[in-house]
Structure 1
Amino acid sequence: MKILILTTCEYNKDLRINPFEFDQALSLSGLGNDVRIFAHDFRSIKHLRKIGYGFSNIKGIKVYYASFFVGRLLPFSLRTFISRIIINNFFKLIQKQNWVPEVIHSHFIDTSFLYNKIINRLKRDLNFRYIITEHSSKLNALRLKKTIKKLTSSAYDGSDYIISVSNSLKNNLLINSKINSIVIPNMLPIELENFKIRKIPSKEFSFVITANLVPIKNHYFLFEAFSLFLEKYNAKLFVFGDGILRKKLKKKCNYLNITDKVIFMGKRQRTFIFDFYNYCDCFILPSLKETFGVSIIEAMACGLPILSSHSGGAEDIIINPKLGLFFDFKLCDLVEKMEFVFNNIDQFDPFYIREFVLEKYSASKIAPILFNLYSKDYKCGNN
């Protein structure tokens, strides 16, 4: 089957495709499909880079990309107009290669909105199925802004199926936009299927978080709770990720006098992070909202128990206390759960946690579900 995946990328010194979409492409290619990706980088001129259309072959996946300075400073209508001209020209280029997709699969509301008019125009002449997977946290709320609701109705128009990555997102889409979707979760990176748990002893108990340093991930709350935890216990907190709050979060640690206990690891390659998890004891994610929680299943595949907020997506994953615990947005509750894991770490079997998550979220489990959806004879009452 010929499958075209639409997504975003960052074209700096090298080409980086969003990992969720690229993992999907690899797994579908592994089933014998001809999978190609079109990715766009419409960041502003602040991110200096080569501009134009290009092609790359990454791990056997053909990737076409468009890199142009658009940014968010332009009025919404103008940048949408410019982006759609760029995308339209791309489709003209790919059509000249006489390669016609049988399935086009878009990810995230912003991408789907930009491609919507072009996709609907092409569907009049070409026989393909159009699928949208929604991951965006801006939609995972009980009440949406009017602008987001308007964007949703336009972005999803003409799609054959809409996929939500969690039941929480599915319910919120239904409540806010009357859109019924199918739940298919994100998958684990293929490289984690052969990961070997080899716990490395450490003098100190280690918590770890992997998340962008942005407000919705709620690092301030975590640091405050961790400072209270340190009043009784000795431990470290490793922080993977980067973002707009990096300097402010470091100042927060300095204010709380925990700079020697909180180690900012920066943005690292996934393989580095997965190997580092062997040095850690527990993964924490205090997000205000999560549509799913890929970082959670990645940590579980490395054998780590989870401490998570009630963020929406995590409720689909941590379904029994052998896998981890939930905490409320109260400092005392998070501290209590950290103390429990610290004192009872032997109750969490890393091999059980890993096998549980592989059985539900491995590429070999999720890819066939997607392929079934792509097939023309797929029937589902959610359509």
Structure 2
Amino acid sequence: MNDLANGLEVQREALEAKEGGYLLQLEQMANQLEQLNDLANGLEAQREVLEAKEGGYLLQLEQIASLLEATNELANTLDARRDELEQQLRLRGQQLTALQSDFDSIQASNSHLIDRAHSLELKQHEFVSTIDALESQVNQAQIIMLEYQGAIERVNVLDMEKTTLLLELESLNMAASAHFNELAEKHREAEQLSNLSNRLESQREALEAQVTRLGQTINSLVEEKSEYQVLVDALHIRLGDSRDIMAAQPRKVLIVSHMYPREYNLAGGIFVHEQVKALRAQGIDARVVSGEPFWINTLNPKIIKRALGCYLAQKIEAWEEYDGVPLIRFPYVVSSLLPFQTHAVSYTHGLLQQAAWLQADFPFELIHAHTAYTDGTAGRRLASRFGLPLVITEHTGPFSTLTRTGYLRRMTQKALNAADKVISVSSALLSDIRQQVRLSPRVDAQVIANLVDMELFRTQPKSSDGFIHLLWVGHFVPVKRVPVLLEAFAGAFRVQPLLRLRLAGSGEGLEDARALVDSLGLTHVVEFAGHADRAQLVDYYRDCDFLVISSESETFGVVAIEAMSCGRPVLTTRCGGPAEIVSHPVLGKVVGMSVEALTEGMLAMTEQRADFNSKVIRKVTELKFSSASIAQEIAAVYSASIEKSIR
């Protein structure tokens, strides 16, 4: 019995060991199943993105097909005109050939008549000699007439022969005279044919010159048409909307933006400041509130309590003025010990601390927040408190920065869906927004670009030193792909040794870029200009032949419109905003993301640099990106939002 019990115990332990193995296998299989589900979800998301891109590509293909069809029609018209002119030239050539043949025949006949006249002159001389001889004989006969009476008859015969010869000579003279008259007439006809031939040759040369001038005129008209088409496209003409949208335009607008120039970063948020100045120039009293970090970097409860007391005690009771714009810098709590996700909450709290005083001192009618997460969240709460319309402009790129966690995505989506109007600075960014958050059907979205200071960035003549100057402006960060830019430039420099590259900017990748330039042997043709203020940038744009943008992703690309405002074309990768800005070949060139594509673009722009018209480039920039143009678009958004809130 003991042996049996022991055997059963051994079997039980073996079964328990197997059961543990099976459970472990089941856990592994469950983990694998969960990984497969995650992979399937990822593939489904990729499929949706690809389907969205496919729709965009199909639309682009349709546009390209329409453009090709219009180009083919113009080419067919020009070919028909050229064929007609060539047919006229062939007819003139045939006429000239026939006249030349007649002229050659007359010349041959003329030569034959001249030879015959020479022969008649020789015969005449022979007859004259014969007559002279006969006259001599008659004289001798008369002298010896008395002695030779018998020779009288012979003399008479000789007289008769003389008379006959004289008659024949007179007849020959008459024939020679007639031939000379005929020859003179033929000579006159030959001269007339020669004159006609000369006139036809002159007409042919004049016709050829006219055809050449016509070809040049056609080419000039084609180029002029292209330039005018670009200007027409830039006008953004909208027909059929005759509403007086300015009737409901708000007089007081509160701008909420954590991006705004500061003493330690004058370029930060400069595009927001310039937009506000443009709105004020349109008669809108636009004022700015911008959060100023209130740092608390401690875990000591007493210090935290004291710091929060100081923070809560701060009251703002007056506006400061920055470059003609009324401005409030309100404090909000930040800490290196807190994650980025907390910024929207503390930023909103800081703004609401000042809300009552703001509304009492400046009874704003509309709130315009820049970026959805931080300013949009605060703007949403402020608009809800006072029952006012809200407009949000999104600049963030890549937009995934605001959707990388579930919390960030929910807060960003909540702010956007609370807005009466969502403005994106480019179509590419708007597409990213629609793909990464779920916008409510009631939310109206629109693309309005950033603006450029046309007074600061002006067209200036370029000084020539015999080299071809390329300019890059930006931060040395991975998204700008400076290594790709340098590799592409190295390839272009091997083909065109007159190329020179200037890099204006700073950042974490600067030293790596210097090392790459050294390894490529380009230190003598690549200049690192360092950080540049706006006045220096104007000079850099003036000195370059074209600007290069090599980025992987750009929501807009302010440097592109700054260069274009200075009359300089732009070479850009297909990275979002800049590709939309360079919307026509007269403005520059858009290329793929590879090193080879960027190299080919540099060489193509180098070859075509004399064809770019700085006046046309600046005019397009003025129509599409000037302060007045952008401010009018935003004012129209304000008016529509006010009307919507009234209804």
TM norm structure 2:
0.53
Q: CA deviation at 1:61?
A: 0.8
Name the CA shift for 1:90/1:267 in 2 (closer, same or farther; >3 Å): farther
1:303 corresponding residue in structure 2? 567
Tell me how far 1:113 sits from its aligned partner.
4.3
Structure showing the higher helix proportion among its residues:
2
Task: Give the corresponding residue for 2:585.
Answer: 321
Q: Do structure 1's residue 134 and structure 2's residue 394 form an aligned pair?
A: yes
CA gap 1:250/1:92 in 2 versus in 1, 3 angstroms? farther
Map of 2:436 onto structure 1: 176
Matches within 5 A, 1:1-383: 1-7=251-257, 8-9=259-260, 11-12=262-263, 18-42=269-293, 55-66=319-330, 70=334, 73-96=337-360, 98-116=361-379, 118-124=381-387, 128-139=388-399, 145-147=404-406, 148-179=408-439, 181-192=445-456, 195-232=458-495, 233-376=497-640
Query: How far has the Cα of 1:363 moved from its partner?
Result: 1.2
**Contact 1:205/1:235, CA 8 A, preserved across alignment:** yes
**Distance 1:249-1:377 versus aligned 2 partners, 3 A rule:** closer
1:116 and 1:157 in contact (8 A); partners too: no
Higher relative contact order (CA 8 A, sep 6+): 1
Q: 1:308 is paired with a residue of what secondary structure?
A: strand
Q: How many residues align?
A: 370
CA gap of 1:363–1:236, structure 2 versus 1, over 3 A, is same
With over 3 angstroms needed to count, the CA separation of the structure-2 counterparts of 1:73 and 1:256, relative to structure 1, is farther
Distance 1:317 1:261 in 2: 29
Tell me the secondary structure at the aligned position of residue 225 of structure 1.
Answer: helix
Decide whether aligned partners of structure 1 residues 56 and 247 sit closer, same or farther in structure 2, where only a CA change above 3 A counts.
farther
State the one-letter code of the partner of 2:419.
S
Which residue does the alignment assign to 2:169? Answer: none
Deviations 1:98-134 (CA, angstroms, capped at 9, x unpaired): 211112111123333441453244234xxx3210001
- Report the CA distance shift for 1:183/1:79 in structure 2 as closer, same or farther (over 3 A): closer
> Higher Cα Rg: structure 1 or 2?
2
Question: Which of the two has greater strand per residue?
Answer: 1
Question: More deviation in 63-72 or 155-164?
Answer: 63-72
CA distance in 1, matches of 2:640, 2:584: 37
Q: Distance in 1 between matches of 2:590 and 2:514?
A: 26
Distance (Å, rounded) in 1 between the aligned partners of 2:522 and 2:499: 11
Q: 1:292 to 1:72 in 2, by over 3 A?
A: farther
Contact 2:383 2:390 (C-alpha < 8 Å) held by counterparts: no
Distance 2:262 2:321 in 1: 14
Equivalent-residue separation in structure 1 for 2:265 and 2:400 (angstroms): 32
Structure 1: gaps (5+ residues) = none
CA distance 1:244–1:279, shift in 2 (3 Å) = same
Separation of aligned partners in 2, 1:342 and 1:99 = 54
CA contact (8 A) 2:394 2:423 kept: yes
The answer to whether the 8 Å contact 1:39/1:66 transfers is: yes
In structure 1, what is the Cα distance between the partners aligned to 2:621 and 2:578? 13
Contact map agreement 1:112 1:155 (CA 8 A) in 2: no
Q: Which amino acid aligns with 2:368?
A: H
How far residue 72 of structure 1 moved from its aligned partner, in angstroms, is 5.4
- Structure-2 separation of matches of 1:168 and 1:38: 28
Q: Distance in 2 between matches of 1:219 and 1:65?
A: 36
Instruction: Name the % identity.
Output: 25
How far apart are 1:92 and its partner, in Å?
A: 4.0
Shift of 1:292: 1.7
Give deviations 1:63-91, integer Å, cap 9, x for gaps. 11135672555224544443333222233
Contact in 1 for aligned 2:423/2:447 (Cα 8 Å): yes
* Residue type of the alignment partner of 1:220: P
Distance 1:140 1:289, change over 3 A: farther
1:307: Cα distance to partner?
A: 0.7
Residue type at the aligned position of 1:4: L
- Counterpart-to-counterpart distance in 2, 1:82 and 1:366: 32
Structure 1 residue identity aligned to 2:577: G
- CA drift at 1:315: 3.0
In 1: Cα distance, 2:508 partner to 2:537 partner: 21
The CA RMSD measured in Å over matched residues stands at 2.9
Conserved in 2, the CA contact under 8 Å of 1:140 and 1:168?
A: no
Contact 2:260 2:272 in 1 (8 A): no
Task: Provide the C-alpha distance between the structure 2 equivalents of 1:161 and 1:117, rounded to a whole number of angstroms.
Answer: 12
Q: Deviations over 1:243-294 (max 9, x none)?
A: 2222222222223232332222222222320232111101000111111222
Distance in structure 2 (CA, Å) of the matches to 1:257 and 1:72: 43
CA shift at 1:22, angstroms?
0.6
- CA shift at 1:146, angstroms? 4.4
Q: Which moved more, 1:345-354 or 1:54-63?
A: 54-63
